[in-house]
Structure 1
Amino acid sequence: MNKSFQPDSTAEKIIGGAHTNREHDSASKHVTGAAIYIDDMPEAAGTLHGYLGLSARAHARITALELSRVRDAPGVVAVLTADDVPGVNDISPAGLNDEPILASGEVKFYGQPVFAVIAKTRNAARRAAQLADISYEDLPFATDVKAAMEAGHPDVCPPLTLQRGDVEAGLEKAPRRLSGEMHIGGQDHFYLEGQIAMAVPGEDDEITVWSSTQHPSEIQHMVGHALGVPSNAVTVQVRRMGGGFGGKETQANQFACLAAIAAKRTGFPVKIRPDRDDDMTITGKRHDFHVAYDVGYDDDGRIGAVDATFSARCGYSSDLSGPVTDRALFHADNCYFYEDVRLRSRPLMTHTVSNTAFRGFGGPQGLLGAERIIEEIAYQLGRDPLDIRKANFYGEAGRNVTPYHQTVEDNIIERIISELEESSDYQARRKAIIAFNKNSPVIRKGIALTPVKFGISFTATWYNQAGALVHVYRDGSIHLNHGGTEMGQGLNTKVAQALAEEFQVDFATIKITATSTGKVPNTSATAASSGTDLNAMAAADAANQIKDRLIDFAAEKYSVAKDMVVFEPNRVRIGNQTFTFAEFIEQAYIGRVQLSAAGFYKTPEIHWDRQTGRGQPFYYFAYGAAVSEVSIDTLTGEYRVDRVDVLHDVGRSLNPAIDKGQIEGAFIQGMGWLTTEELWWDDKGRLRTHAPSTYKIPLASDRPRIFNVKLAEWSENRKRAIRRSKAVGEPPFMLPVSVLEALSMAVASIGDYRVCPRLDAPATPERVLMAVERLKAGG
């Protein structure tokens, strides 16, 4: 296979290729409003609109469902119930048959869809949905983790245990020991574009679905099952999403299936878009976790043994709770070696909406548990938590095996920490903060430096595959289609940059088209930070197939050796002749060379045996670290983030500008999860934080006053990833753990740093104030 020509620094270069700053391909469209989303698409004549009727109980039997007033309402064309699903009334991604499209007989969370109204206008459907008369027989319910444990709720899916060594013996022989617990709150995705689907019926059993989804192939699969038709009858199209963050990996299934069922039943296109309040009520969140830990360590803070249980609020059905809680355990070590370890998950059923994927996919909750353990040890010993971190980092042989028995071979965390510690002037600033706190009666400051090690790959090994379709047209322009989905993260731009590098053509030569199951089949979700890793490699494979044919053609036509056919910037050199890329492609077309290829890539080396808890689930690790400085008002609990310094590892960046943007965005979103975004259910099981008026995401005023983000430019992926880059979507989400720990230090100053404040997340001003008051009271 021919490798791309790499021009030297003095040679002409292509415009917008790999390893260069380039704006997002739709950036100007985003800010001008020219970007087309599903709700912007022109509607075909006769398009109908759907709206969902929701349950008003957290757990109950439906004793009567009277929908006559709904059917008789103005503009109503059809009303769908579970009985109207022609195929299978289930959208469980885990295949456990526990997630109905529409509830039948029993409702298991407040706001569960019971019926759907299809009307001539969205407003008519919305109004009619309020006219249902549903009678219930109430049943017991529990909405949080502790209540579910006390009620003896079952796990929604099989739990996991990771174990290495003898935990009981390790705890027993440890010179020191501590135990504790932590509650980690959930988070709403709060994407800018809400859930939406539009289905257009076709001939026979065919249907086309436009869906705001991260997983077109799963939509195809679910719609096929719901309609009782094969997957080849269903085409799913995705041009872009207005944000996803994991909330559109499985949660789009329900809306797409209902739109498709309604379209086939009525014979007209059907669009479904819930209001923001209903969207937040109906769709899953980041999992809340309760973490209980027992830790043995020595006088230097080195951890000997860890026994921890990670219990999660999963909701009424399995959804992706199994792999989410698995991944929490995979990251419960973060950057630290545990000599003897046992980590257990408890994916608990609760009477709430079924929780789902969210940026980090359980990893942030596991990592936060690890950092709480480090923090506890530091306060017990009266040490800087950074010293305890350094004492426990993965190291050489004997201290480089994870709880799931994968050897950490690419560890660069010590260099990351060392460089950031120096560039941020961490030590001097910490001393100055301690001095400031001694003389400040109201405002207290805190600072923390925390690391991140995040595994890259789907832990479901079969998802680590991707396809791409590349056409080179006779004028030299290139059509690119791949199985990933664009949700604002710049995936299309980076894949196109990688393709431009392979062909050595300018970025403008390439046209990126909507993701379609009719072009690239059996795609994996754009998730697990794998979008670029998988799809860019698939596109590169397609390019190299075409290039191999072109090289064979040129070598034969011009009677030269194959190694004398070289792709240079926007040209092809054949022996001592040079042609523009377009001229050469025209020659190849005339010569009947196939100028199209379907590329494919599967991640090598990875394997995982869940039964034994052993394997190599991750192809490589991405690393990073952040220093955060905060100030709190001890009279109100209010606080601000004064400064943040980040050094993050993205390998050899395909696009530094986009990667920095991803890091900045991830940091702010993670900061929101840990400080302001709080989910709250009332005593009737109703989610009350279901709108921008009641759910507080970070504002521009909440951003760090000073925000320094740098890439570890010396880093290069040691694995055969696309042009030695590393994933960037999820790993930086965990950097703002440093904000939570800085808040903890500021609070701890009230008690002269002798007691760990044990702040739960999110550390809202109320929680900060209560922690301050506890320490003032000597607690």
Structure 2
Amino acid sequence: MRKLPNNLVTSNQDKALPMHESATKHVTGQAIYIDDVPEWPNELHVATGKSTEAFADIVSINLDKVMSYPGVVDVILQADIPGDPDVSPVLSGDMLLAGDFVHYIGQPIFAVAATSLRAAKQAVELAEITYQTNAATLHPKDALARQEFVLPTHTIQCGDAQAAMAKADYQLESDLYIKGQEHFYLEGQISVAIPNEDGGVQVLASSQHPAEVQKLVARVLDLPVAQVLVETRRMGGGFGGKESQAATLGCMAAVLAVRNHCPVKYRMPRQDDMVQTGKRHDFWNSYQVGFTQQGEIVAAQYDMVGKCGCTADLSDGVVDRAMFHADNAYFLANARISGYRGKTHTVSNTAFRGFGGPKGVLLAENIIEEIACKVGKDALDIRKLNCYQEGKDTTPYGQKIEEDVLLALIEQLENTSDYRARREAINDFNQHSPFLKKGLALTPVKFGISFTSKHLNQGGALVHVYTDGSVHVSHGGTEMGQGLYTKVAQIVAKAFGIDYQRVNVGSTRTDKVPNASPTAASAGTDLNGMAALDAANTIKERLREFAVEHFAIVAEAFAIEDDVVTLGSDSMGFPEFIKLAYMNRVSLSSTGFYKTPKIGYDRKAAKGRPFLYFANGASVSEVIVDTLTGEYKVTQVDILQDVGDSINSHIDIGQIEGAFVQGMGWLTSEELSWDDKGRITTNSPANYKIPTSADVPEKLTVKLFDRANGEETVYRSKAVGEPPLMLGISVWCALKDACASVCDHELSPPLAAPATPEAVYYAIQAAQAFKAQSLVGKEVQEASV
């Protein structure tokens, strides 16, 4: 068997696939992150002085001791910013430095540039600031009660929910508070700014959106955008936390760099990062659902209140996406879904993998579990009954489900995971086990793919072919470990018919591809891959035209495959052909562009097509719970994910595994907490628990659903970054199932999200209390008889 190159792996089909382009560099430590770049001799370091009050007017500031601290070179306030201090990604209100008031604990008031980070950190503690405090709003439920919102409320409706509710056989009404999540990327927020001789600046940014960093740096410096260059080679994780809020670090470093005529690094220590940057939004959801005796949903009314924080940031899109996914995989004929953008005096929450989608999906799955207990059926049967399928294929916002995938996918996983036999075995175990209880849940995911802001659905690329046959690609997407660079290189190599190793993908730079959208919404490959393909096809068509003229052949006689150019009855190597094309003055460089077709959402009518297509998946999770302590273990997980015609199955499976574990962490161990003053108390790795290798189930099986995308995406693939995170919801539902077994599934006890061992214990207590009350009721009834 031939020896494969070091950067290739073999799939189950014995087809060589490229490894992640930086895999070896990651493992050996050769991958260069921003903090690895050698420092300049005169480089300065930044720290910020932070507010100690959640909502207050600033009465006075004395920075004399800060300025005189050894190593301090410069100190700035908002008034020292040469341009506009507002660094909001969409609307307004996000100030680089606070002005006359603060509206969350941790808000930067002033910044220090010093010869070392230690000196800067120590200096900021010497500030003397006095405040006039105001009453703060800290909970989204309070924001709703006080009608305090960062943006107007939006409502989606279909049918007549109120009338259908009145006619329903059963109704349930309750609420569910879903906490947020800390991004906890391996590489924290960081930027380095280097001023240039023309008054402009270059910024090295750990950002998912270099174009936005460029725009905002220009804004705060009062410069033309063209005088700012932003470069991102890679991030040590992003998960949405570096989509909008990474720009703040680039802006701060740039202001101080230009002001002091030297390079400036702004790297947030982990605790500062956890205090000063936004999280996944908390959501308080109240709901009323009507359903039949069989468990079919006939009416639904949801009020979804996002904890947006003090400003809008990206909350409009987050709450919209939560609303768009409140149906998840289930047809709602009559529904009213209202989304509220709650304003709280806490750090402005931001994008997180899945945006608001996970909050809507969890709400839907919680309701299914409750309906199942009410009608006395297995939750899987309720899911299949309500699932989108032929004749039940239109969402509440009017988009038709064109691919009839969900039910087939669910049933395939039901069979391959042996769900029914395992359910019987678990029921038997629970009847004979007084203290340990098992739980099982199969939950589906239907996740819309496209930015909900239409203008962001565009991608650009630049492709060069050099005279030795090597290819360089620049595109607007950023690499944060997800394998985007690898996939784009594969796409270009396939387009040209050449070996993958001929293709090099360079750093993302704003001077190569302008005005690029953020790498987010799982659209990185869809947008940038198609743009790169467009550029490659343009060059290839020029090569075809040259070959037809130069060799006097018909167009159909030209082909490139496996580095060999076929020219009718003749052939030559790709490098030789490229050199010949160059000598004959054929342009070997091209830009490429792509914009997502078909999409559009009428906000006024609350109807339209916000997504080009849906990525689907399902997971089965099994857990075992100690009813005396609430401690539990996830024992087995089976996943089936719809990725279309996979570009790189190994990268896709890695993304699915990682997303699942991150979703499981969100709903089990990662609990964000604030005190009654608005101070975050989970502000370090010591008190915020992300999942570790010990939490990953020993039996974790991932399979890909074998069906190409029905839409014309790049090589008929589907997005894979965000959708699998919501497969972790099956763990939460399995825990809920185990708790319900304590009272023979006559009640689905309320379970907090995240379901920490304490939360599971309280749910078990509720189930036990319900069972005891039911027994007393039966005894009274029997006595009366």
> TM-score band (shorter)?
over 0.9
- Cα drift, residue 752 of structure 1: 1.1
SS across alignment from 1:769: helix
Residue 70 of structure 1: aligned partner: 66
Task: Give the structure 2 partner of residue 607 of structure 1.
Answer: 600
Query: How far apart in 1 are the matches of 2:511 and 2:655?
Result: 30
Equivalent position to 1:196, from 186, 190, 194: 190
Q: Where does residue 780 of structure 2 map in the other structure? A: none
CA deviations over 1:218-261 (Å, ceiling 9, x no partner): 10111111111111111100000000000000011111100000
Aligned mates of 2:224, 2:377 — CA distance in 1: 62
Match of 1:105 in 2: 100
Task: Give the counterpart letter for 1:745 in structure 2.
Answer: D
1:751 aligns with 2:743: yes
**1:635-662: CA deviations, max 9, x gaps?**
1111000000001100010000000000
How many angstroms does 1:428 deviate by?
0.6
* Corresponding residue of 1:165: 159
Q: CA offsets per residue over residues 133-167 of structure 1, 9 Å max, x none? A: 111111111222223334x1511112211111111
3-state SS of paired residue (2:341): strand
Q: Which residue of 2 aligns with 1:595?
A: 588
How much has 1:176 moved relative to structure 2? 1.5
Quote how far apart the aligned CAs of 1:16 are. 8.6
* TM-score with structure 1 setting the length: 0.97
Q: How does 1:10-21 map to 2 (within 5 A)?
A: 21=17
TM-score by length of 2: 0.96
CA distance in 1, matches of 2:153, 2:252: 32
Counterpart in the other structure of 1:3: none
Residue 517 (structure 1) aligned to one of 504, 510, 529: 510
Aligned to 1:724: 716
- 5 Å matches for 1:617-632? 617-632=610-625
Secondary structure class of the residue paired with 1:751: coil
How far did residue 492 of structure 1 move? 0.2
Name the residue aligned to 1:380. 374
Alignment of 1:224-623 (within 5 A): 224-397=218-391, 399-623=392-616
Q: Which amino acid aligns with 1:742?
A: A
Alpha-carbon contact 2:635-2:697 (below 8 Å) kept: yes
Measure the CA separation in 2 of the matches of 1:568 and 1:702: 46
Once the two structures are TM-superposed, the CA of residue 568 in structure 1 deviates from its matched residue by 1.4
Amino acid at match of 1:612: A
2:129 pairs, out of 134, 149, 152, with: 134
Please give the alpha-carbon distance, in whole angstroms, between the structure 2 residues aligned to 1:375 and 1:169. Answer: 24
What is the CA–CA distance in structure 2 between the aligned matches of 1:534 and 1:391, rounded to whole Å? 35
Indicate the residue corresponding to 1:740 in structure 2: 732
SS at the partner of 1:541?
helix
**Offset, 1:603:** 0.7
Aligned to 1:11: none
Question: Does structure 2 conserve the Cα–Cα contact (< 8 Å) formed by 1:20 and 1:656?
Answer: no
Displacement of 1:281 in angstroms is 0.3
In 2, the alpha carbon distance for the partners of 1:640 and 1:161 equals: 39
Partner of 2:702, secondary structure, is: strand
Structure 1 residue 576: deviation in Å?
Answer: 1.0
2:45 equivalent in structure 1? 49
Q: State the secondary structure of the residue aligned to 1:427.
A: helix
User: How far did 1:15 drift?
Assistant: 7.8
Mapped to 2, the partners of 1:250 and 1:701 lie a distance apart of 33
Look up the equivalent residue of 1:631 and give its one-letter code.
I
RMSD: 1.3
Alpha carbons of 1:133 and 1:15: their partners in 2 closer, same or farther (altered >3 Å)? closer
Name the residue aligned to 2:110.
115
Instruction: Determine if the alignment matches structure 1 residue 218 to structure 2 residue 197.
Output: no
Task: State the one-letter code of the partner of 2:95.
Answer: P
RCO higher in structure (CA 8 A, sep ≥6): 1
C-alpha contact (below 8 Å) 2:307/2:343 kept by paired residues? yes
* C-alpha contact (below 8 Å) 2:144/2:340 kept by paired residues: no
Q: How many residues align?
A: 762
| Distance change in 2, residues 1:595/1:324 (3 Å) | same
| Long gaps (5+) in structure 2 | 1-6, 774-785
Corresponding residue for residue 769 of structure 1: 761
Rounded to whole Å, the distance in 2 between the matches of 1:87 and 1:253 is: 15
CA distance in 2, matches of 1:416, 1:218: 39
- 1:736 is paired with a residue whose SS is helix
Deviation at 1:609, TM superposition (A): 1.3
Whole-angstrom CA distance in 1 between matches of 2:199 and 2:339: 43
Identity of aligned residues (%): 52
Q: Distance in 2 between matches of 1:377 and 1:617?
A: 29
Q: CA deviation at 1:570?
A: 0.5
Q: What is the CA-CA distance between 1:17 and the residue it aligns to? A: 12
Identify the residue that residue 4 of structure 1 maps to in structure 2: none
Q: Does 1:156 align with 2:150?
A: yes
User: What corresponds to 2:141 in structure 1?
Assistant: 146
What's the CA shift string for 1:262-308, capped at 9, x where partnerless? 01100001000011001000000000001111111111111111110
Q: Does 1:83 align with 2:79?
A: yes
- Contact 1:74–1:124 under 8 Å retained in 2: yes
Q: Give the Å deviation of 1:583.
A: 0.3
Distance 1:556 1:44 in 2: 54
Deviation at 1:203, TM superposition (A): 2.3
* Aligned position for 1:9: none
Once the two structures are overlaid, the 10-residue window that deviates more, 400-409 or 173-182, is: 173-182
**Alpha-carbon distance in 1 for matches of 2:72, 2:165:** 66
Asked whether the equivalents of residues 17 and 497 of structure 1 are also in contact (C-alpha less than 8 Å), the reply is no
Q: What is the rounded CA distance, in whole Å, between the counterparts of 1:216 and 1:681 in structure 2? A: 32
Match of 2:104, as an amino acid?
F
Q: Tell me, in whole angstroms, the C-alpha distance in 1 between the residues paired with 2:416 and 2:540.
A: 45
- Equivalent-residue separation in structure 2 for 1:372 and 1:279 (angstroms): 32
Residue identity in the other structure for 2:610: P
- Does the CA-based 8 Å contact 2:156-2:336 persist in structure 1? yes
The match for 1:39 is 35
Q: Alpha-carbon deviation of 1:394?
A: 1.2
CA contact (8 A) 2:389 2:406 kept: no
**SS state of the match for residue 121, structure 2?**
helix
